[in-house]
Structure 1
Amino acid sequence: MLFKLQEEAALRQSDQTKMTSPFDCQYCTAPLLGKKYVLKDDNLYCVSCYDRIFCNYCEQCKEPIESDSKDLCYKNWHWHEGCFRCTKCNHSLVEKPFVAKDERLLCTECYSNECSSKCFHCKRTIMPGSRKMEFKGNYWHETCFVCEHCRQPIGTKPLISKETGNYCVPCFEKEFANYCNFCKKVITTGGVTFRDQIWHKECFLCSGCRKELCEEEFMSRDDYPFCLDCYSHLYAKKCAACTKPITGLRGAKFICFQDRQWHSECFNCGKCSVSLVGEGFLTQDTEILCRKCGSGVDTDN
């Protein structure tokens, strides 16, 4: 019995000595002298133990990537060297540029064909990494986004767009722009036309009070625009009945007789107030009378 206990103690001591040997596998304790091994975190592992414990699995074939194979890694994903391919054209991506999209790897050509914008001018793909210009929801190569007139790249400089294309400001002003009749500066958009001349909206003002007229009704006198108040005050005839200005706006009719004018609704008999529009009438001093009220009265008409 004593011998057996001593033998077991000797075996345990032998096992402890064996496990603590610097040339044994850290996991299975197999001696590594003269054999292949893998060093990880300053510990030695036989190839079998290392592959079983530490190897990664390939995203493509789902097989382990053993220690004698190259492990290609991207964002915690791993591939065998032969499995690292474009998911669309199947060409190898080893030492080539690629793009990851929706957990797929694509070569730059496949990515461009599938995902990249097309140039509005030349219709070719705008390759990833190249500079592209965006305007009104469309995209251009930087070298394709040029002024329609001078053909120079516009880049981020101000531009003006027309149906015929995009123009840099100097070319647009030279080729198309109108100049305000008031301030003499270029009118790029909008404007007000009057007497075959054009104004900026903010420059089209009443010649009397300088009020903006672009959203207002106005009258003209000697080719000058006036707001209704100024025109009425300065030039409009006064109704002989109500003394208010007669402008003739909106097709309003008025009556003229000798040196006097009336609004059509004001041209009434001075006694009975019946309308005299389209009717015969008589006059008595400054009054106008219907035939009935004017009967037996000396008249001028």
Structure 2
Amino acid sequence: MAHLCEMQTQAAVKADASKKHPANKQDPKASLDSMLGDLEQDLQDLGVATVSKGHCASCRKPIAGKVIHALGQVWHPEHFVCTHCKEEIGPKPFFERSGLAYCPKDYHDLFSPRCAYCAAPILDKVLTAMNQTWHPEHFFCFHCGEVFGAEGFHEKDKKPYCRKDFLAMFSPKCGGCNRPVLENYLSAMDTVWHPECFVCGDCFSSFSSGSFFELDGRPYCELHYHQRRGTLCHGCGQPITGRCISAMGHKFHPEHFVCAFCLTQLSKGIFREQDDKTYCQPCFTKLFPL
């Protein structure tokens, strides 16, 4: 009973003091800490033993109620907060960096690698390529948008491309079929060719001798080159590479420009024409008398 009277007396004194000296408005958390501290002191004054759970790593005051164990220290729950946003963490998950606690959102915003495509923090799997980090689903071909498979990617001007688009867009094109040249090729006429595409533009025969004739950007065998140029002999059908006689809209080797009847060479270029044939003067006179 003596103890009870003493508690009542002390309470009355404190109540009277509070009426005479109204307390200034305080922060709710600071007020709660003060009340807990006063309660612990009152209990000790009354001889009631209190077991301290340690001193809060933040406010350094004894912890009598709920306690948070984190970072190798103890905390009042309301004092264990995110280092960045100062929001209470309490018993919720958190991340530690350099001995400091962060809520998950701030930790990822501040320290997680960022995707080179969307710039958002990468929270789970991370893909590293081209000296940057990416969400795996955001590392795709710059042209077609397909995510890269086992064949990997090709880089051009700091952009990634799948093999198909890279070859289609940047590989040299064959002068014959205009498809990408990937492996074996021939170089001729200031471009590259698939070996099977470097053939005569008319007969499609390959140039086994290694020589060809160029006309309007295309390769030709000797026969079809002269045919296109109109330099085939009208007499023998073979190319004319030296001296040439032009007559009746055709070209002839000199030795093949002959009389159609006696086959004498019309060496001086003097001839008579009948039905698209050439004749020497004597044969013409005999065959076609006036």
The structure number with the bigger radius of gyration is 2
More helix by share: 2
Greater strand fraction, Structure 1 or Structure 2: 1
Q: State the TM-score, normalizing by the size of structure 1.
A: 0.41
Normalised by the length of structure 2, the TM-score is 0.42
